[in-house]
Amino acid sequence: MIIERADVIVTSPNRNFVTLRLQTDEGHVGLGDATLNGRELAVVSYLKDHVVPLLIGKDAHRIEDTWQFLYRSSYWRRGPVTMAAIAAVDMALWDIKGKAANMPVYQLLGGASRSGLMAYGHASGIDNPQLFDSIREHLELGYRSVRVQTGVPGLKAIYGIAAQSTLDGGEERYDHEPARRGAQPTEEDWDTRAYLRHLPTVFEAVRNEFGPELPLLHDGHHRMTPIQAAKLGKSLEPYDLFWLEDCTPAENQEALRLVRQHTTTPLAIGEIFNTVWDFQALIKEQLIDYVRAASTHFGGISPLKKVMDYAAQYQIKSGCHGPTDISPVGFAAQLHVGLAIHNFGIQEYMQHGSRTNEVFQQSMTFENGLLHPGDNPGLGVELNVDEAGKYPYEQAYLPFNRLADGTVHDW
């Protein structure tokens, strides 16, 4: 089965997405997600100019060989642009193999290990009343676990707080979509001491309102020093978090050693990691509890399965990154992995907008708090090319932080 054609499709229904579409001589079509939020066109060029010409004429069945060829023959390896491009090829080839075998991809990965994947949603509010409303809304939508992000007194705009938006054709939607369309990134503000004082009071209020059972998560979004993160983990212990995510910036992985010495709050990291190597020490030294890799930024299904099998030796579980900047194709890819592996933990699930769901038709279901990729052959996602063509690329950037004195800070 030969790869005969490869197209890179850019569309911006509710936000920008980059999709690779491979076609074989036997008529099978495979899709891969190559979306890198705020740097989308770099991956488009990487694919169009440097990868597509190498794929034409290759055997579509040779997934591992093609992955190794793209990774090693480029010489430079790693990095989010390279790994998003390789991920798209990997996913598209798994999609094709599933269609050729007439099986959903999770069957090719060993079959289902559970009936569905527990998902958590993004509850947020600028203050406690707004946050409580948002948690209730998520429970009504069927979520059985929620991420809690809150405003901090004195700070105007911070990561993770949903804004009322009218993106979906006029209908009001409570959504957190950090990338803003425009020629410049927006500026937000930050003060770690104010945050460390405020956050435990919010979790105490949430536990008092919603009881001890509801799994609660929180994203520190790379903004603390190691000792600040240790302090936060310790102060949140009474509220029994499911995890504290990205408590320190990802580059300094040794920071987790210090955090770990001080707190039993479970730690999750890895949404900006690109390879198994980024996790190696963290897994082996048992410095984390959840692997946050996303199929799209981690080289696809093949390496995601490998890192999770490695993590399983240390009782470390999955918690794949699932924001709306992972397209329905990348999201489906990690649902198939999550259904098949033994050490699934939880899946982040922010729901895509209605225009996105028209461009990408999905067999995925979300019932009683559980996600399932569906039983269509392959990944279970079809791209409506005509619909995609209605929404051309629009420049968009993620925001960045400045402290009160003007210093740029991690966002």
Which residues of the chain form contacts with ligand EZ4 (CB under 6 A)? 37, 178, 219, 221, 271, 321, 323, 325, 348, 398
Minimum CB–partner distance for residue 178 and ligand EZ4 (Å): 5
294, 269 in Cβ contact below 8 A? no
Of 46, 71, 159, 195, which is the active-site residue?
A: 159
Q: Minimum distance from CB of 318 to ligand EZ4 (Å)?
A: 14
Dihedral, CA of residue 196, residue 197, residue 203 and residue 208, to nearest 10: 170
Q: Which does 325 bind (CB under 5 to 8 A by kind): ligand EZ4, Co ion, none?
A: ligand EZ4
Q: Give me the sign of the Cα torsion angle 262, 307, 335, 161.
A: positive
Please choose which of Co ion, ligand EZ4, none residue 289 contacts, taking the beta carbon within 5 to 8 angstroms, the exact cut-off set by kind.
Answer: none
Q: How far is the CB of 321 from ligand EZ4 (least distance, A)?
A: 6
Q: Which is nearer to ligand EZ4, 48 or 180 (CB)?
A: 180
Is 218 one of the catalytic residues?
no
Minimum CB separation of residue 403 from Co ion in Å reads 21
Q: How many CA atoms lie within 13 A of 107 on its CB side?
A: 16
Nearest to 145 by CA among 303, 369, 386: 369
Distance of CA 238 to the CA centre of its chain: 28
Q: Which residue has the tokens 């959840």?
A: 290
Residue of 122, 176, 218, 221 with catalytic role: 221
Convert residues 244-283 into a mask of x (bound to Co ion by CB under 5 A) and - (unbound).
Answer: ---------------------------x------------
Sign of CA dihedral 50, 54, 59, 65: negative
**What single-letter amino acid sits at 45?**
S
208: which residues sit within 8 A by CB, 6+ positions away?
A: none
Question: How many chain residues interact with Co ion (CB under 5 A)?
Answer: 2
Nearer to Co ion, 95 or 188 (CB): 188
Residue with the shortest CB distance to Co ion: 219
**What minimum distance in Å lies between the beta carbon of 150 and ligand EZ4?**
15
**Is 226 or 330 the residue whose CB approaches ligand EZ4 more closely?**
330
Residue with smaller CB distance to ligand EZ4, 112 or 250: 250
- Residue 90 touches which of Co ion, ligand EZ4, none (CB < 5 to 8 A by kind)? none
Nearest to 32 by CA among 383, 324, 313, 366: 383
Q: How far apart are CA 27 and CA 37, in angstroms?
A: 31
**Phi, psi torsion values for 346, nearest 5 degrees:** -160, 160
* Contact between residue 383 and residue 31 where contact means Cβ atoms under 8 Å apart: yes
What whole-number distance in Å separates Cα of residue 335 and Cα of residue 328?
A: 10
Kindly tell me which of 28 and 221 has the beta carbon lying closer to ligand EZ4: 221
8 Å CB contact between 124 and 363: no
User: In whole angstroms, how close is the CB of 70 to Co ion at the nearest point?
Assistant: 27
Mask for 311-350, x = binds Co ion (CB under 5 A): ----------------------------------------
Which residue's CB is nearer to ligand EZ4, number 67 or number 203? 203
Active site residue 221: yes
Contact call for residues 330 and 296 (beta carbons, < 8 A)? yes
Sign of the CA dihedral 410, 130, 229, 189?
Answer: positive
Rule CB under 5 A: say whether 219 interacts with Co ion.
yes
Residues with catalytic annotation?
A: 159, 221
Residues that bind Co ion (CB under 5 A): 219, 271
